[in-house]
Structure 1
Amino acid sequence: MALNRIEGTDNLFVGGVFGLNRPRVLEEHNIRSILSVIKYSLRYDDDVFQNAEHLSIDIDDMEDQDILAHLPKMVRFIDRGLNAGVASLSSSSDAKTAISSSESPPGVLVHCAMGKSRSVTAVIAYLLWKYPHRFGKHDPIVTTQEVVARALAWVRRTRPMAEPNEGFMAQLEMWWEMGCPADSDDAVEKEAAYQRWLYKREVEDATRIGRAPDRIRFEDEAQESSATDPAGKPGNGNMELKCKKCRRVLANEPFIVPHQGRGSPERSTCPHYFIEALSWMRPILEEGELDGRLICPNLKCSASIGRYAWQGFKCSCGEWVAPAFSLQTSKVDKVITQRENHGADAVAERMAALGIRMPPSTAQKPIETPKENL
């Protein structure tokens, strides 16, 4: 079919460009807002489109296209169209109302060329933002991939041909993990996760032609500028990696890349700690080499502690990491630091854990508030 209504209470439709060739069908469904996820101009010579609210976003249906940055604008447009209708685009007082005001609520049509990938991506983004609990929000068992798959299955109930490309599906997963930010049109662009994703694409483009990236993003500086707290989670300790020779801290937990070996069981112990690019690497990375050695930033030490490769490399445990900034486990020490608690109760707990009983005289007595003289 040229267009299909998404199951639910919203008067939301998805389809291909051919649906716009049937203006009377749009009129019957009271469709007042049209989102074109394609370069498209409405035929305003047709009465049905004269007062239609229209937004066109030119995106190619290719896996490497950035549709993520446009999701807030598309979601806000859909929500505005479903809930507030549309104001007349004509300033003429005698302009005809092009789309009939039937008893059905205002409708929104989201379309691309075939109604299969781009438009479906926009609709899924809206559903995840509007109805997160429907697809597994606050359910710790449901993974991000399952959430997006559930939303796609929901669309397929009435649009069986719906099938966003793999790149768009991955971006929908990022959209969900970000919390579906749509408080402004540029909400996604303000997210640190989006900036890291963009930077990773820059690195991939550079290494594809055998070059180091022109711009280097140091994650510790990026977190400081975004006012995020890089400290470890309270109560869970904080892992630090220190140079084995001089004890200089090289990285702490927020900047250690999660790494799980995929090799054979006998090589399950990984000889590397992979970390993000950090500011102490600046003198080395700004040399512009594609790969090289990492040196301890302590000038009195300067020990060789690992290596880097912008194009990435495969760890001996079987995991491929790109870009790769690796510290050798034989060159660094992993230290777990805990927040100190010097209170009397904490001391008593530690002594009790050692089997030592504290004398009664050491117990804290309640502080009495002095009485006022009457």
Structure 2
Amino acid sequence: MSISRVPGPDNLYVGGAWVLNTEAGRKKVREQNITHVLSVIKFSFEKWGEEVQRFKHMSIDVLDDEDSDLLVYFPAAVRFIDSGLNPPEEPETKGDGPSPGGVYVHCAMGISRSVSCVIAYLLYKYPHRFGAAQRRQTAKETVEKALVLVRQGREGVQPNNGFMRQLELWWEMGCPADDDSAVEQHPIYQKWLYERMLKESRDVHEAPNPEDIRFEDEVEQGKGVAEIEVNQKEGKEIRCKKCRRILATPKFVVPHVPTGRQESSNCAHVFIETLSWMRPALEDGALEGRLSCPNTKCGATIGRFAWQGLKCTCSEWVVPAFSLNRSRVDEVAPRRTDALTIRLPPGRNGSL
């Protein structure tokens, strides 16, 4: 496959590495006035001699593997592409107006890695084309729309499943690209990395290192900024049936039924996120075990955990699983004062 133009107002092209290694390909590059080359592969311009000076070049050395992390490079990649299409010395184009520069994005074959970076740029630059109003609800559909657009200019391209998922996360994050670490610092990316770590542990039949366990309630408290949550998530809070101690608020309850199906009232388990009160049960590194009420005056057995996952009575698997037995807990509507909370940085209310 030769060099292909991405449909749209920009002089944006995608293809394989061979284009840059043949005279015919080099001629095509010259004809398209390409000034910037993004190599999503380890690549050198040594064969170009002095002519290499006509290009600005960026290289991202990543394998075309579902487990490769391309997401973390998206901020740098989209800013590089944009600098070629809209040079700083030129007035930046607005809307869908034409751009002056030419950018070639390539990998080995121009099918997966390079196309992923092109899609990342389209989502970043033109979110209005793909449905910016509801990012999380439409992430999968949005990425597919962008892929369809690229295929109009280059048939048969298909990022691997891992990259497709990373593009969905990129969209859910809001395509942050203020600096190279914009993704790395994002909570969605950090949660994704944590889930990858858990999978690696499961693959070798081990529990994660206790020091690496992410307790979701501590993550919330650690945000360190004032925020107001109004009905953040509908649902019921979970309390110990014996002592009435709150075990989980609605935001930490994990749905465990496929999208589109209503959770069955016959489910014997309520699954929740990993919370800090579970620390004593998890710190010995066991793959599975019991969960007890954190109230020291109660200590009732209320459920179990299994890093390898558990199968609910409704036949759904939840991995990892932190399960509370419905016969041992009560599910109650949160008090109205719990529905509206204001979180302040430590010390603002006189306490730590």
Matches within 5 A, 1:262-281: 269-281=266-278
Q: Which amino acid aligns with 1:244?
A: K
* Aligned pair partner of 1:220 in 209, 217, 222: 217
Percent sequence identity over matched residues? 53
When residues 83 and 239 of structure 1 are mapped into structure 2, their CA distance, relative to the original with a 3 A threshold, is same
Q: Does the CA contact (< 8 Å) of 1:81 and 1:108 recur in 2?
A: yes
- What's the offset of the Cα at 1:2? 2.1
Matches within 5 A, 1:1-374: 1-21=1-21, 22-43=25-46, 45-84=48-87, 105-138=100-133, 143-214=138-209, 215-227=212-224, 233-234=230-231, 239-260=236-257, 269-339=266-336
Q: Does the CA contact (< 8 Å) of 1:237 and 1:337 recur in 2?
A: no
3-state SS of 1:31 partner: coil
For residues 109-164 of structure 1, give each alpha carbon's deviation from its aligned partner in whole angstroms, at most 9, with x where no partner exists: 10000000000000001001111111122268972211111000000001112100
When residues 142 and 194 of structure 1 are mapped into structure 2, their CA distance, relative to the original with a 3 A threshold, is closer
For residues 192-234 of structure 1, give each alpha carbon's deviation from its aligned partner in whole angstroms, at most 9, with x where no partner exists: 1111111111111111111111121111112222236797534
Using the alignment, how far apart are the partners of 2:197 and 2:136 within structure 1?
Answer: 34
Q: Which amino acid aligns with 1:178?
A: M
Q: Which amino acid aligns with 2:290?
A: R
Using the alignment, how far apart are the partners of 1:208 and 1:231 within structure 2?
Answer: 39
When residues 324 and 231 of structure 1 are mapped into structure 2, their CA distance, relative to the original with a 3 A threshold, is farther
When residues 141 and 159 of structure 1 are mapped into structure 2, their CA distance, relative to the original with a 3 A threshold, is same
Q: Which amino acid aligns with 1:125?
A: A
- What's the offset of the Cα at 1:266? 12
- What's the offset of the Cα at 1:248? 0.8
Q: Which moved more, 1:157-166 or 1:326-335?
A: 326-335
When residues 269 and 146 of structure 1 are mapped into structure 2, their CA distance, relative to the original with a 3 A threshold, is same
For residues 227-264 of structure 1, give each alpha carbon's deviation from its aligned partner in whole angstroms, at most 9, with x where no partner exists: 367975349766321111111111112211122269x9
Q: Does the CA contact (< 8 Å) of 1:39 and 1:57 recur in 2?
A: yes
- What's the offset of the Cα at 1:338? 4.1
Using the alignment, how far apart are the partners of 1:140 and 1:188 within structure 2?
Answer: 16
| Residue in structure 1 matched with residue 343 of structure 2 by the alignment | none
When residues 32 and 265 of structure 1 are mapped into structure 2, their CA distance, relative to the original with a 3 A threshold, is closer
Using the alignment, how far apart are the partners of 2:113 and 2:177 within structure 1?
Answer: 18
Q: Does the CA contact (< 8 Å) of 1:78 and 1:126 recur in 2?
A: yes
Using the alignment, how far apart are the partners of 2:199 and 2:234 within structure 1?
Answer: 34
3-state SS of 2:153 partner: coil
Using the alignment, how far apart are the partners of 1:332 and 1:178 within structure 2?
Answer: 35
Using the alignment, how far apart are the partners of 2:148 and 2:110 within structure 1?
Answer: 15
Gap regions ≥5 residues in structure 2: 91-97, 339-352
Using the alignment, how far apart are the partners of 2:149 and 2:62 within structure 1?
Answer: 24
Q: Which amino acid aligns with 1:67?
A: L
Largest Rg, 1 or 2: 1
How does the TM-score come out when normalised to structure 1?
Answer: 0.81
Using the alignment, how far apart are the partners of 1:224 and 1:330 within structure 2?
Answer: 30
When residues 229 and 301 of structure 1 are mapped into structure 2, their CA distance, relative to the original with a 3 A threshold, is farther
Gap regions ≥5 residues in structure 1: 88-102, 342-374
Q: Does the CA contact (< 8 Å) of 2:135 and 2:174 recur in 1?
A: no
Using the alignment, how far apart are the partners of 1:206 and 1:141 within structure 2?
Answer: 28
Q: Does the CA contact (< 8 Å) of 1:7 and 1:158 recur in 2?
A: yes
Q: Which moved more, 1:112-121 or 1:321-330?
A: 321-330
3-state SS of 2:86 partner: helix
How does the TM-score come out when normalised to structure 2?
Answer: 0.85
